Structure 1
Amino acid sequence: MWALRRASVPLRSRGFSMGTSRGACVNLREITCAEDKAGFSESFQRTYDRLLLSNTFYHTGHASLKFSVKKRELSSQADASSIKEEVDLEDGFSELERPAADKDENDDEELELSDDGEDVEEPQNELELSETEIDSAEKKSRETGARSELFKAMLKSTGLSVNDVLDKWVEEGKDLSSSEVSSTMANLRRRRMYGSALQLSEWLEAKEQIDFVEKDYASRLDLLAKMHGLHKAENYIGSIPNSFRGEIIYRTLLANCVRKNKAKKAEEIFNKMRDLEFPLTTFACDQLLLLYKRTNKKKIADVLLLMKKENVKPSLFTYRLLIDAKGGSNDIAGMDQIVDSMKAEGVEPDFQIQGILAKHYASAGLTQKAEAVLTEMEGRSLKGGKLKEHLWVCRSLLCSYAELGNADEVGRIWKVCESNPGIDLSVAAIEAWGKLKKIEEAEAAFEQVLNELNKPSSRPYIALLKVYANNKMLNKGKDLIKRMADSEGRIGPLILNPLVQLYVQSGEVERADAMLQKAVQQNKVRPLFSTYMTIMDEYAKRGDIHNSEKIFHRMRLAGYTSRFTQFQALVQTYVNAKVPAYGIRERIKADNVFPNKALAGQLALVDAFRKTRVSDILD
């Protein structure tokens, strides 16, 4: 838990200098008190004072930060090494930016869910290009869901490459206006067909069909980062004309660094933007808040303080992040305080914030508060039309009522929407029924969505496989995998993750280990970080040093640099085995990982040379 008590001394009276230990370091540009008074409104002052000082976000004595406003630099020694660093690609409401999360810490691994034949309905996604980079045609396409004629042609021409389709389109003299291109690009992004979108962008520039402006270069940069990694995206900036190498370009790269949880690189890009004297935007600050929400919540206060000093107004998404961060830390009182601060500024919670509140109230066992929020959500959606027209609200209702254990309400919501739910809502229903241990209902939702899909998709399989894993239904899980293989479904990292959990939770960790290794060797897949950790944690419980070290080594071979969570599991293995871990401190230090209090306690237990009362007497 972080930030549990009220800061005793206001930050302004401390000279904005907060000491710390040996972790990360944050230095921000000095702003004088005169500048502060002149450039910051009383309303903003009250807002940030409430967020920073009212039992919400503040610096603690244990924070791995050094905050000084003499320079405008932001840096971390370790790349998100202090807490859980990976955000796996999982469906559900694990993060704010979309119900079906599309985040991955891997630079070279893209979604296997890219083209499943369904549009992906998304709320505001801060990891995509912001509104300033999207022209009116693309905005309209996103809002209305209209599909361009070019996009339809690309979907129908399954045997042709994107370049061939475009060449044929031009030869036939069909419309290739900027509005048609923007609409097509929006549809490709909505379907997560990033590879096709990148080819479209490259073809347009090569054929000189449109005059590229900054938003077009930013779009290409974003697609390169998604498809080929941050390194190629950053190199691409050098080929962009100087006149178009503005703030939008760098904020797009920053967003992709955050998307891949690269804290050190994100801070480097942020500093670069400051050095280039770009204006500090809410978008950039929100990216850092999202990053620190995942990797180091103690640094959230620094971003808020920077926003306060530079007169950056919090957005609705800023509030979403802060509310979810407090709720995720089980600080319900702090979460409510942020909501009060938001309302005091005249900002009303949207559907997403209400969904976040309901989720955290439900997790905290506050049934009445959760139900009150859900009732209000449903009432608001009904005012704007029928409930089933608000699919994101329906997903949130299903998830929250399942968390509350209310099967009747889950059944009622699903009955309203099941006539034409789409893949996202169907997956949410499978997960909700699974949480309630209503296996037959989950299977019925699975069969329904499979019958309605135009193209094969792994997402329903993943959702049902998780249900089987959580309920230790090994035989049903095996049958489901065979069925997926028969339908030519690809057994990729997202399927391997629940499959490994299925074996481990059924007590067959060795089988899970062997299966994973076979998949890596035969299918050349790169398992998710959490997939390896599921097996390693089980070996740690058993005190199986040999196999824990083996998994640790395989993770290195797979390209996962050593992280805090890996060492924590490895050291726990030695603790449970009651065997000293020779050289473990040196290994941790060599990998630039800094132990927290818990890991330091574990290390003391496996120190071969530690002194005890008995050893002192014997010596």
Structure 2
Amino acid sequence: MKCMQSSSFFRFLFHRQNCGVLVSPFSTKTPNLSPFSPVKALYDQIQIVCDPRASIIPVLDKWVEQGRSVGNKELRSLIHLMKDFNRFNHALEISKWMTDRRYFILSPADVAVRLELISTVHGIEHAENYFNNISNSLKSATVYGALLSSYVRQKSIAKAEAVMQNMREMGFATTSFPYNLLINLYAQTEEHDKIDALMQEMENLGIPHDMFTLRNRMNAYVRASDISGVEKILNRIEEDPNYVFDWIVYSLAANAYLKVGLIEKTLAMLNKMEGIMIPVKSKLAFQYLLSLYASIGSKNELYRVWNLYKPLNEVHGTSYSVMITSLAKLDDIEGAEKIFQEWESRCSFYDFRILNRLLVAYCKKGLFDKAELAVKKAIKGRTPYASTWYILAVGYSEDKQMDKAAERLKKALLVGRKGWRPRSVLLDASLEYLEGQGDVKEIEEIITLLKNTGALTRNNYHSLLRAFVRIGKSVSDVLDQMERDGFTANEETHRILEMRPSLM
């Protein structure tokens, strides 16, 4: 069996477990909604809005206009539901609607959730502004924890440490939660000495090392490929009756063994992991098992896990995505197609992210005809995500078919939400190709689309200027438009203009 790391899915797993999504005090598990509860009825109405870019405020307003009641308890449940399904923009809309339209008074926990959502949707600067404008009476340990969690996600070490110091001085650093966040940050940034110092500080203050503390420490050992350290934590957990064992510890150990090629020990950890999974019925554990067996290169085990655990879980799109990606990793394109077709035949909401996994597999194999056919079928009556066209653009670019890459990039920009921006490698390559073709019209259209998404830069205008210079066309209109869009000429601009001074 060949040994391949499952690092990307592992990072996703550990991020969810340690960055405030599952374990923070300002987040809860998805509530079990009774089919007769008012919040379930409202949730069903919100679910109809499939486009994450579309506002759900009209749905909330209409609900109230029809004389139906909704309290802050129900709204909080909805916020957590939206978060659990990664509909962060909709969760933030509900949070703001609570105060803007319903005039509910926010608790510190509500403020923490909103801060976390602002950071996710709008970025850390907006979260900082929100935090700075919160009254001191609401700046509880929970709110500071939300800010700390945001800095951890951004890997902003200095700012995270400053918040932690504030929490110490205010008497808020009395639980393991802020320490666990910092330990996780240091694990990601390989500041291993600081981890040991934090754990010693916890011991000095009488703050117990809980399961998350030990997971985070183990994660640092995994990242450093320190097998003895991993086994030290593993033995400590297995030998201490006070710890409630879970599958994540074994998944961490399995990943550590896989990194250094110890396949037999990896399989032993996966067997232990499966022994815990059945009563837990964790979708995330199911997905990680799939990813790890694919990384080991075991197609038989991959299918065994899929067929055994799928009936035990309510299988969502993410599980199908992981299975499609796993099969593609093992060059089983036919199997990936069958899994996609199974999802497509059962789905109540067409999630283009599932299709995207198959498109990535097609493009890596150069199967562009199949990719185009799949997209053509999927977009009948539907609007694809920008990422769908973008994957095709990247595939064509890597295959040196720049004419098709530029065309698919333009389609991605047409449907991209506000602020969506393609990676500069593809954008620059496409603009450079169009410059070489002297295709001013296409460059102008891309610039207009970039402007509409708020992602336009001076360098994009420079591509247009070079194209104008290349074909001997006057650049005065371009310079005027640059200035109107807030881009003054710089040294590079003048260097381009000097190529054809007579055109000024």
The normalised TM-score by structure 2 is 0.70
The residue aligned with 1:410 is 302
The residue aligned with 1:372 is 268
Q: Following superposition of structure 1 onto structure 2, how do residues 6-45 of structure 1 map, counting pairs within 5 Å? A: none
Q: 1:251 aligns with which of 122, 130, 145?
A: 145
TM-superposed deviation, 1:132: 3.2
Query: Structure 1 pair 125/154, CA: closer, same or farther in 2 (3 Å)?
Result: farther
Q: Following superposition of structure 1 onto structure 2, how do residues 481-560 of structure 1 map, counting pairs within 5 Å? A: 481=375, 488-492=382-386, 496=390, 499=392, 502-503=395-396, 506=399, 508=400, 525-528=420-423
TM-superposed deviation, 1:390: 3.5
Give, in whole Å, the separation in 2 of the partners of 1:428 and 1:500.
22
Give, in whole Å, the separation in 1 of the partners of 2:134 and 2:60.
24
TM-superposed deviation, 1:206: 2.5
- Which segment is superposed worse, 305-314 or 459-468? 305-314
Give, in whole Å, the separation in 2 of the partners of 1:463 and 1:379.
29
TM-superposed deviation, 1:143: 9.6
Q: Deviations over 1:45-78 (max 9, x none)?
A: xxxxxxxxxxxxxxxxxxxxxxxxxxxxxxxxxx
TM-superposed deviation, 1:428: 1.5
The residue aligned with 1:401 is 293
Q: What SS does the aligned partner of 1:93 have?
A: helix
Q: Does 1:92 align with 2:9?
A: yes
Q: What SS does the aligned partner of 2:13 have?
A: coil
The residue aligned with 2:135 is 241
TM-superposed deviation, 1:512: 9.3
Give, in whole Å, the separation in 1 of the partners of 2:155 and 2:382.
32
Name the aligned partner's letter for residue 133 of structure 1: F
Give, in whole Å, the separation in 2 of the partners of 1:533 and 1:502.
13
Q: 1:435 aligns with which of 314, 326, 329?
A: 329
The normalised TM-score by structure 1 is 0.58
Q: Does 1:340 align with 2:235?
A: yes
TM-superposed deviation, 1:459: 1.9
Query: Structure 1 pair 455/247, CA: closer, same or farther in 2 (3 Å)?
Result: same
Q: Following superposition of structure 1 onto structure 2, how do residues 452-463 of structure 1 map, counting pairs within 5 Å? A: 452-463=346-357
TM-superposed deviation, 1:440: 0.4
The residue aligned with 1:133 is 26
The residue aligned with 1:217 is 111
Give, in whole Å, the separation in 2 of the partners of 1:321 and 1:534.
39
Q: Following superposition of structure 1 onto structure 2, how do residues 278-427 of structure 1 map, counting pairs within 5 Å? A: 278-298=172-192, 299-346=194-241, 347=243, 349-382=245-278, 384=279, 389-417=281-309, 421-427=315-321
Give, in whole Å, the separation in 2 of the partners of 1:239 and 1:509.
51
TM-superposed deviation, 1:378: 2.2
The residue aligned with 2:487 is none
Query: Structure 1 pair 155/250, CA: closer, same or farther in 2 (3 Å)?
Result: same
Give, in whole Å, the separation in 2 of the partners of 1:157 and 1:403.
36
Q: 1:200 aligns with which of 81, 94, 104?
A: 94
Give, in whole Å, the separation in 2 of the partners of 1:258 and 1:534.
31
> Which runs of no fewer than 5 residues in structure 2 stay unpaired?
1-6, 430-453, 458-504
Matched-pair contact (CA < 8 Å) for 1:367–1:404: yes
Q: What SS does the aligned partner of 1:526 have?
A: coil
Give, in whole Å, the separation in 2 of the partners of 1:394 and 1:279.
35
Give, in whole Å, the separation in 1 of the partners of 2:426 and 2:211.
36
Matched-pair contact (CA < 8 Å) for 2:294–2:329: yes
Q: What SS does the aligned partner of 1:96 have?
A: helix
Query: Structure 1 pair 297/534, CA: closer, same or farther in 2 (3 Å)?
Result: farther
TM-superposed deviation, 1:395: 1.6
Give, in whole Å, the separation in 2 of the partners of 1:329 and 1:472.
36
Q: What SS does the aligned partner of 2:25 have?
A: helix
Give, in whole Å, the separation in 2 of the partners of 1:129 and 1:193.
15
Matched-pair contact (CA < 8 Å) for 1:485–1:491: no
Name the aligned partner's letter for residue 457 of structure 1: D
> Which runs of no fewer than 5 residues in structure 1 stay unpaired?
1-89, 102-123, 536-556, 561-619
TM-superposed deviation, 1:238: 3.5
Matched-pair contact (CA < 8 Å) for 2:359–2:392: yes
Matched-pair contact (CA < 8 Å) for 2:118–2:127: yes
Name the aligned partner's letter for residue 318 of structure 1: T
Matched-pair contact (CA < 8 Å) for 1:142–1:186: no
TM-superposed deviation, 1:141: 0.8
TM-superposed deviation, 1:215: 0.7
Q: 1:273 aligns with which of 160, 167, 171?
A: 167
Q: What SS does the aligned partner of 1:451 have?
A: helix
Give, in whole Å, the separation in 2 of the partners of 1:93 and 1:230.
24
Query: Structure 1 pair 158/319, CA: closer, same or farther in 2 (3 Å)?
Result: closer
Matched-pair contact (CA < 8 Å) for 1:458–1:495: no
Higher helix share: 2
The residue aligned with 2:120 is 226
The residue aligned with 2:490 is none
CA RMSD after TM alignment: 3.9
Q: Deviations over 1:349-376 (max 9, x none)?
A: 4112222222332343322222222222
TM-superposed deviation, 1:402: 1.7
Question: What fraction of aligned residue pairs are identical, expressed as a percent?
Answer: 25
The residue aligned with 2:472 is none
Give the count of matched residue pairs.
417
TM-superposed deviation, 1:344: 4.1
